[in-house]
Structure 1
Amino acid sequence: MTRISDTQANSSTDEIDLLALFQSIWQRKLLITVVTSICVVIAAAYAFISKPVYEAKAYVLPPTINEIAEFNYGRTKEAQLTAFTVKDVYGVFLRNLQAESLRRDFYTKIYLPSLTEAQRQGSQDVLYAEFSKQVTVGVASKDSPDRYAISFQNIDPTVAADWLKLFVDRANAAGLQEMIGNVTSEAEVRARNLNQQIATLRESGKGAREDLIAQLHEALLVAESIGLEKPPIISGNLSSKVSASMDGPLTYMRGAKALKAEIKNLETRVSDDPFIPKLRTLEVQQSYFQSINVNPESVAVYREDGPIELPDSPIKPKKALIIGLGLVLGVMLGIMLALIRQFISTQRTSSVPPVSVKL
């Protein structure tokens, strides 16, 4: 019975304390109202005085197969060159789009000149950090990992749209330059390799001609030593067999006259090219690789997903949100000040000693 009475007493005390707390807060409602009003006014002033910030956005996608076709001109298995895929080409563009070098170049050549002399006097690290906050690059959504979004923020919507277009164009130019450089450099390497093969074949052909001249000179000595001026006349089937075998040890059987004419012809030959097997094929391949020239206007490393439009509404400041936060913070601050005043008042009351009356 005693326990029940104690519990009821504690519950009653808690209810009295809580009620007293609400009463003390309500007694200071004017203070809470004044503090809340001040916070709301400050928040509203900030929301309406702050310069609006606009954001321009662009979306990019991988290029089509047709747009990268010229990159693969001549890249066949026979040429020992692997064809570029859409992913390869788009990857080059994305690397340049997200490269720190592109941001630094844009910061130096575009962003800094747009600032006043006084603004440029500040810390370069701080200025670059502010610039980096204005431009963002990332995947547009998890559902489309190949679709990227690029955004640029500025207090001027026209500047935001123009800078965004310029930023994407610079990434595009860098990507095209890298891809064209890859294509032309590989073609130049193939052309140099073919040129080396051609030079080797020509040197080999020259050596073969000199060897043949030496062999013919020896055959001429043999023919002259036996007085064989003309090839012997052999009738019947034996004639064709002997004529077909007039090489090697039997070369002298051609006769001194024919050997001298052949030696003279070999010694006065201007070029061995017509007599070198596969030489013309290699020359055609070399000429082909030397003529490879990618036209930047006929290829693409990315595809725009819609045009870059001029933003017409600012993304910052969000006035309603700022004023709402000011209201909430004002109420909380007002209640906190009311509780502090209540606590101070209670402490003063409890510290006053009781007055004793003597009879």
Structure 2
Amino acid sequence: MNAISSPIQQTPSDEIDLIALFHSLWEQKLLIALVTMLVGMMAAAYAFLATPEYQVQSILRPAAIKDLDALNRTGVYELTPAQAMQRVGAVLESYGSRLEFFRANQSLFEALRQPNRSLEQTFESFNQEAFKMLQPDPKKTDSLGAYVGIQLTYPNNVDGVAFANGLVEFALQSERERISSDLQTLIQNRLNQLESKMAAARANYGASKEAKIATLLEADSLKRAELQDELKALRQQLKTRRDNRITQLDEAIRIAKALNISKPTTPSALGEGERVAQGSVIRTEVNNQQIPLYFMGSEALEAERNALLQRRSDDFTEPRIAQIAKELQLLTHNRQIEVLNQRENEDLFLKDLAIWREEAARLRNLSFDVADLKLASIDQVAVDPLRPIKPKKALILALGLVLGGMLGLFIALLRNLLRRNSRANNLAI
């Protein structure tokens, strides 16, 4: 009978159990309320006793073009406003820059010091939790402009405003110093480059000058050798011509003596030598053939031969020899070489040297003060926040009450379940 009656009573039992459940929970309302109040008090204690954390931020925007015009007009360093802002942002994001600022301003972080941590460990923990870089979302095309910033979350015992503003100013000053160092390095490198160009130009000029002098000397030497060879050949030619003339004269003298011709005569006169001339006679002989040399007579021929034998030089008989002597005399001194060697300021003859000197003088006199260089415009400075961002007391208290109520209900349901199991065991027995 028990097996038959049990299914018949199952549905009413479920309805009675649901009502009983609500009744049981109502009976345990004090427990639920007590647990809710206890958890709520714990949440309130945390909300009011936890160390509050504040948040500040500083925003930088690109500087105006006029602020960087003086730097760009140096002709050595070029920097756009966007590039300048990005470089400042890179310094803000740099761990090394933050650590350097931390070491230089340790008084701002006295509250963060812990006995069991080193300076670097303290900063490492603070750096991971406190900093956040602010940049426009690259996916959004409706951005109102480029900017970069830093957001700092800090406990109430740290001067976050001074730290944020100080870090921004430190980044700006560090970048100014880097630009100043880069500018000086670039200027010095440009000066070294100009000096190298001028030294190379001087070396090239010296080599060109020496090559030109060597070319001129070689040309003079070649010309002198050619003239001397020509002079020697001419003198040999004149000597040979004189010897040949002497030989011709010797032969003509022998013929003239054989014909008994002592005075100059002609072939026609020689045939009429025995005729007695009456009165004054003038003879004219027309002959298109050269008269043999012996008709000059032995006396004239011997006189010419003696003169040729006594001659010591035949140079006067050839005008070219005098011209060669003149040219050799001119070759003894090359005036172009003398002028090249007598140049006192050879820099005046170097191409582009004046331009390089002008550029070097401009670079040496270039003075640019980076102290007033505006790399970025501070759009928002960090100011003291009105309220902390953590803990959010109302939210924590509300969550505490909700969680407390849920915990109380859970405990009440658990107690009710344990009671039912206990009753069921008793009935089974």
User: If the TM-score is normalised by the length of the shorter chain, which range does it land in?
Assistant: 0.7 to 0.9
Amino acid at match of 1:20: A
Residue 81 of structure 2 is aligned to residue 86 of structure 1: yes
Q: Distance in 1 between matches of 2:14 and 2:426?
A: 25
Give the aligned partner of residue 61 of structure 1.
61
Q: Which moved more, 1:266-275 or 1:139-148?
A: 139-148
Give the aligned partner of residue 50 of structure 1.
50
Give the drift of 1:301.
Answer: 2.3
Q: Distance in 2 between matches of 1:344 and 1:112?
A: 60
Helix, strand or coil at the partner of 2:382:
coil
Give the aligned partner of residue 179 of structure 2.
179
Q: Map Cα deviations across residues 204-228 of structure 1 (whole Å, 9 max, x no partner).
A: 22334445555676788889xx9xx
Give the aligned partner of residue 340 of structure 1.
414
Q: Distance in 2 between matches of 1:287 and 1:329?
A: 79
Give the drift of 1:61.
Answer: 0.8
Do the aligned partners of residues 254 and 343 (structure 1) sit closer, same or farther apart at CA in structure 2, a change above 3 Å counting? farther
1:157–1:310 Cα contact (<8 Å) kept = no
Do the aligned partners of residues 206 and 47 (structure 1) sit closer, same or farther apart at CA in structure 2, a change above 3 Å counting? same
Matches within 5 A, 1:1-359: 15-75=15-75, 83-110=78-105, 114-115=109-110, 119-122=114-117, 125=121, 128-139=124-135, 143-144=143-144, 146-156=146-156, 159-211=159-211, 213=213, 266-353=340-427
Q: Map Cα deviations across residues 113-169 of structure 1 (whole Å, 9 max, x no partner).
A: 833697142376476223431222222665346223322233348711111111112
Bigger Rg, structure 1 or 2: 2
Give the drift of 1:62.
Answer: 1.6
**Structure 1: 5+ residue stretches without partners:** 1-8, 76-80, 227-251
Q: Map Cα deviations across residues 276-329 of structure 1 (whole Å, 9 max, x no partner).
A: 222101111233334444421342222100333222322222111111111111
Q: Distance in 2 between matches of 1:183 and 1:11?
A: 92
Q: Distance in 1 between matches of 2:413 and 2:220?
A: 128
Do the aligned partners of residues 303 and 265 (structure 1) sit closer, same or farther apart at CA in structure 2, a change above 3 Å counting? same
Q: Distance in 2 between matches of 1:152 and 1:316?
A: 13
2:36–2:403 Cα contact (<8 Å) kept = yes
Give the drift of 1:199.
Answer: 1.0
2:132–2:151 Cα contact (<8 Å) kept = yes
Helix, strand or coil at the partner of 2:359:
helix
Q: Distance in 2 between matches of 1:159 and 1:253?
A: 97
1:54–1:157 Cα contact (<8 Å) kept = no
2:136–2:147 Cα contact (<8 Å) kept = yes
1:134–1:154 Cα contact (<8 Å) kept = yes
Give the aligned partner of residue 303 of structure 2.
none
Give the drift of 1:345.
Answer: 0.9
Q: Distance in 1 between matches of 2:146 and 2:189?
A: 33
Helix, strand or coil at the partner of 1:119:
coil
Q: Distance in 2 between matches of 1:346 and 1:267?
A: 126
**Structure 2: 5+ residue stretches without partners:** 1-8, 228-326
Q: How many matched pairs?
A: 316
Give the drift of 1:59.
Answer: 1.0
Give the drift of 1:29.
Answer: 0.5
Q: Map Cα deviations across residues 178-237 of structure 1 (whole Å, 9 max, x no partner).
A: 3334444333333322221111111222334445555676788889xx9xxxxxxxxxxx
Amino acid at match of 2:125: A
1:111–1:131 Cα contact (<8 Å) kept = no
Q: Distance in 2 between matches of 1:127 and 1:181?
A: 28
Give the drift of 1:101.
Answer: 1.2
Q: TM-score, normalised by structure 2?
A: 0.63
Q: Map Cα deviations across residues 61-81 of structure 1 (whole Å, 9 max, x no partner).
A: 122211222332243xxxxx7
Give the aligned partner of residue 248 of structure 1.
none
Give the drift of 1:16.
Answer: 4.4
Q: Which moved more, 1:98-107 or 1:9-18?
A: 9-18
1:112–1:120 Cα contact (<8 Å) kept = no
Q: Distance in 2 between matches of 1:254 and 1:344?
A: 140
Give the drift of 1:85.
Answer: 2.5
Structure 1 runs of 4+ with >6 Å offset: 9-13, 215-223, 252-258
Do the aligned partners of residues 126 and 32 (structure 1) sit closer, same or farther apart at CA in structure 2, a change above 3 Å counting? farther
Q: Map Cα deviations across residues 239-268 of structure 1 (whole Å, 9 max, x no partner).
A: xxxxxxxxxxxxx899689955x6555434
Do the aligned partners of residues 120 and 108 (structure 1) sit closer, same or farther apart at CA in structure 2, a change above 3 Å counting? farther
Q: Distance in 2 between matches of 1:317 and 1:163?
A: 22
Q: TM-score, normalised by structure 1?
A: 0.74
Give the aligned partner of residue 232 of structure 1.
none
Quick one: percent identity of the two aligned structures?
24
Amino acid at match of 1:69: D
